Copies of this chain bind each other. A is one copy, B any other.
Amino acid sequence: MKDYIKIHPWQIVEEGFHRENAKVSESIFSIGNGRMGQRANFEEKYSGASLQGSYLAGVYYPDKTRVGWWKNGYPEYFAKVLNSVSWNNVHISVDGELIDLNVQEPINFKRVLDMQNGLLIRSYSVVTAKGITLDFEWTRFVSMNRKNIGVVSLSLKASADCRISIRSVLSGDIHNQDSNYDEFFWQDTISGVEGSHLWLRQKTKKTNFSVAASSLHNISLDNNNYTSALSNTDLQSAAKFDFHLLPNKSVRFQKYSAICSSMYEEESQLQSTAHNEARAAYEAGVDVLVEEQKKAWSDIWHNCDVEIDGDDEAQQSIRFNIFQLFQTYTGDDSRLNIGPKGFTGEKYGGSTYWDTEAYCLPFYLATAPNDVARNLLVYRYNQLDKAIENAQKLGFNKGAALYPMVTMNGEECHNEWEITFEEIHRNGAIAYAVYDYINYTGDTAYMAEYGLEVLIGISRFWSQRVHFSEDKQQWVMLGVTGPNEFENNVNNNWYTNKFAVWCLNYTRDQIQILQKENPKRFAEIATKTAFEESEIQHWNQITQNMYFPHDAKRDIFLQQDGFLDKELIPVSQLSSDQRPIVEHWSWDRILRSCYIKQADVLQGFYFFEDEFDLETHKRHFDFYEPLTVHESSLSPCIHSILANKIGNYDKAYEFYLRTARLDLNDINNDTCDGCHITSMAGTWMTISKGFAGMRVRNGRLHLSPHIPNNWKTIRFNIRFRENYLRISIGNDQLEVQNIEGPKITMNCKGVDFQVDSTQTKSINYA
């Protein structure tokens, strides 16, 4: 838990340089535009602890997996998001002294992530060995409009005449710190200078993604008297500018970099595109680009801002979460997905996890055009063949599909068999996303077009993965890991069993609907998937007699078989020096303990809430939450939503802050590795599904608001089908503004109400 970030409704602010948190800050102050991202590594030299990171969407490397002894079915590689061309280095020397904030102590250091405008601004002064004071102000951004453009702008002033040397570099000498075998992932690097351009080109090994970068510079000096020189070596190209800086005169310096990848450009055009785009940015100039940036972010905020009156801490943190989400994924490319760290770090390889469906989808459903969420679903549809192949590798057949737990291209790609093999519950979340999308958008055509094939593949998997226990005379599922990754290889994880049954029933229902409503299309799907009617009979046998572990005494569903054999000691009785247990306990001790990393049974209640009454919710929350250590970023948000539902408002607020400020306060002590991007969507859900109590039932938007006592109002905009709505919730007032779309019927706490087009309706909900 750290507390050095200043509270501000629109800004993330660091005052004074917190060297001890340098890597945490690098993550928090990351910038991105959905296509590329950059950790907040300093432009100037920094010799202290740092995790260098420049990432390009979709450009990955299949790093050979690292396992003790390889076993059949283990993934062959762990896909790694690649640390790519380093484009932001601008080293500064003053009278031969290299500026390095690990050497010179900065004065009045201030770093601001201006979320409203998408800019990173950093200012400080240093005093050189000769006693000259230099005032730096750096501005950096990656353009939301020009997806390949990153800009660095420097304003520098000196207290006395001094000789300045600026050395700007494009470097291909870049490594992933999480490389399994310390391998260099790039090849064929060539660099050069051409006219006033620096350029550099390289390719990934194995995957053959090509990247080309080009930089142009602008320098404005009072007397315009400087010398410049361009040079290049094998792995980098550099531009050097030397000049005298007169006392209290500023130099302004800009670096315009274009970084293009073969994900988006023809390889033969890559370098020329980079040149042209760098040139265009250079010619537009920083002021124009900043204006574009402000406009782009203004548009985003207009759609998706959440305003919280009365609590700047809560306000800052929800905006931070939303800001990072839109820096990571803009939804215009169905080949892309949302890595757990986005563009803010290497950990988890930048791959796609079930987080996307379970956490991110609801956010994009409500805040972006349908296409964005739809693209996330199509991503999985496009990988259905790979999911079938993956299941075949593991011994399944007849079109059973097991989606990977971790993937870049549809193939399973991770080091950890506990995750990749046994967390088969991801198949459930991926099926649920189809339901969720259609339920929210009403886009029922999606089912016939894409959804049903995915559902059939997934249901076939479940029907083969369970078997009939002669002993129990029920269907069981052995050897799984639930969402709670502090268990491994357990039998009858309730959540997974529950999801299997739900998938089988939902698929059956959807098949029967399509058979009736569009028999021609169904016949096509049945032919393509070789579907047989008898499969449904088999599914029904399973769903009608599935085993769910249950404790009759407490009337509680058990996380898995044998859960009650554990020593059930509440987390509150653990001394704080044991927390987080993942840092203090050995892995085997964690495994046999009762402690729950993240919602597991409760994750099932979150998804299937309408199957259980409020008392049942309370009973389960009161049993499981006290045993939960929330050492996954995905845990607090779900608990906040559930706590709201059962009226445990203090907990709901506590968990809200925990999820919203997870990175800003480095609560899990791992933000140095990158921000927890996917859980940020969960933060947004604590507002919409939690405090606003938003649900879609039978095509109608329901609200059940309750906001924390110290909040005056929350306001947010959502898209819902044909409507664009502004929801404002005070302590007892709900106000719905129907900004766009026809008259809409909604429901507040069980009571329907209507809002006419362009009108606003107020309701006292207390």
Q: Could you tell me if B586 and A414 are in contact, using CB atoms closer than 8 angstroms?
A: no
Q: Is A737 on the interface with B (CB-CB < 8 A)?
A: no
Q: Is A479 on the interface with B (CB-CB < 8 A)?
A: yes
> Please, how many angstroms separate the alpha-carbon atoms of A414 and B67 in the complex?
11
A sample of 6 cross-chain residue pairs with beta-carbon separation below 8 angstroms, ordered by A number, consists of A69-B415, A72-B583, A394-B586, A395-B589, A421-B586, A471-B564
- For A565, give its contact among B66, B182, B471, B582 (CB under 8 Å): B471
Q: Is A562 on the interface with B (CB-CB < 8 A)?
A: yes
- In the complex, which residues 99-117 of chain A have their Cβ closer than 8 Å to any Cβ of chain B? none
Q: Could you tell me if A417 and B562 are in contact, using CB atoms closer than 8 angstroms?
A: no
Q: Could you tell me if A567 and B394 are in contact, using CB atoms closer than 8 angstroms?
A: no
Given contacts A67-B66, A472-B565, contact A587 B415 (CB under 8 A): no
Q: Could you tell me if A72 and B491 are in contact, using CB atoms closer than 8 angstroms?
A: no
- What residues of chain B lie closer than 8 Å to A74, measured between beta carbons? 587
Q: Is A71 on the interface with B (CB-CB < 8 A)?
A: yes
Q: Is A470 on the interface with B (CB-CB < 8 A)?
A: yes
- For A417, give its contact among B470, B479, B565, B587 (CB under 8 Å): B587
Nearest-CB residue, chain B, relative to A471: B564
Nearest-CB residue, chain B, relative to A564: B471
**How close is A283's CB to chain B, nearest CB, in angstroms?**
47
Q: Is A455 on the interface with B (CB-CB < 8 A)?
A: no
- What residues of chain B lie closer than 8 Å to A566, measured between beta carbons? 469, 478
Please, what's the 1-or-0 string for A465-493, where 1 marks a CB less than 8 Å from any CB in chain B? 00101111000101100000000110110
Nearest-CB residue, chain B, relative to A591: B479
Q: Could you tell me if B69 and A416 are in contact, using CB atoms closer than 8 angstroms?
A: yes
Q: Is A285 on the interface with B (CB-CB < 8 A)?
A: no
- For A491, give its contact among B181, B393, B476, B565 (CB under 8 Å): B565
Q: Could you tell me if A588 and B394 are in contact, using CB atoms closer than 8 angstroms?
A: yes
> Please, how many angstroms separate the alpha-carbon atoms of A78 and B74 in the complex?
21
> Please, how many angstroms separate the alpha-carbon atoms of A393 and B584 in the complex?
10
- What residues of chain B lie closer than 8 Å to A478, measured between beta carbons? 562, 565-566, 592
Please, what's the 1-or-0 string for A384-424, where 1 marks a CB less than 8 Å from any CB in chain B? 00000000011100000000000000000011110001100
Given contacts A73-B588, A395-B589, 8 further A-B contacts (CB under 8 A): A72-B586, A72-B587, A181-B182, A394-B586, A470-B568, A471-B564, A479-B588, A561-B562
Nearest-CB residue, chain B, relative to A594: B478
Nearest-CB residue, chain B, relative to A68: B415
- In the complex, which residues 44-84 of chain A have their Cβ closer than 8 Å to any Cβ of chain B? 65-69, 71-74, 78
> Please, how many angstroms separate the alpha-carbon atoms of A330 and B584 in the complex?
43
Q: Is A585 on the interface with B (CB-CB < 8 A)?
A: yes
Given contacts A568-B470, A591-B479, contact A68 B71 (CB under 8 A): no
> Please, how many angstroms separate the alpha-carbon atoms of A562 and B393 in the complex?
26
Q: Could you tell me if A469 and B565 are in contact, using CB atoms closer than 8 angstroms?
A: yes
> Please, how many angstroms separate the alpha-carbon atoms of A588 and B461 in the complex?
14
Please, what's the 1-or-0 string for A583-621, where 1 marks a CB less than 8 Å from any CB in chain B? 111111101100000000000000000000000000000
- In the complex, which residues 480-516 of chain A have their Cβ closer than 8 Å to any Cβ of chain B? 488-489, 491-492
> Please, how many angstroms separate the alpha-carbon atoms of A492 and B467 in the complex?
23
- What residues of chain B lie closer than 8 Å to A584, measured between beta carbons? 72
Q: Could you tell me if B394 and A589 are in contact, using CB atoms closer than 8 angstroms?
A: yes
Q: Could you tell me if A470 and B564 are in contact, using CB atoms closer than 8 angstroms?
A: yes
> Please, how many angstroms separate the alpha-carbon atoms of A583 and B583 in the complex?
36
- What residues of chain B lie closer than 8 Å to A469, measured between beta carbons? 564-566
Top 4 A-B residue pairs of the complex, sorted by shortest distance between their CB atoms: A68-B415, A73-B586, A479-B592, A471-B564
Interface centre among A181, A565, A582, A591 (most CB of B within 10 A): A565
- In the complex, which residues 547-590 of chain A have their Cβ closer than 8 Å to any Cβ of chain B? 561-562, 564-568, 582-589
**How close is A563's CB to chain B, nearest CB, in angstroms?**
9
- What residues of chain B lie closer than 8 Å to A562, measured between beta carbons? 478, 491, 561-562
Q: Could you tell me if B471 and A588 are in contact, using CB atoms closer than 8 angstroms?
A: no
Nearest-CB residue, chain B, relative to A588: B421
Q: Could you tell me if A489 and B491 are in contact, using CB atoms closer than 8 angstroms?
A: no
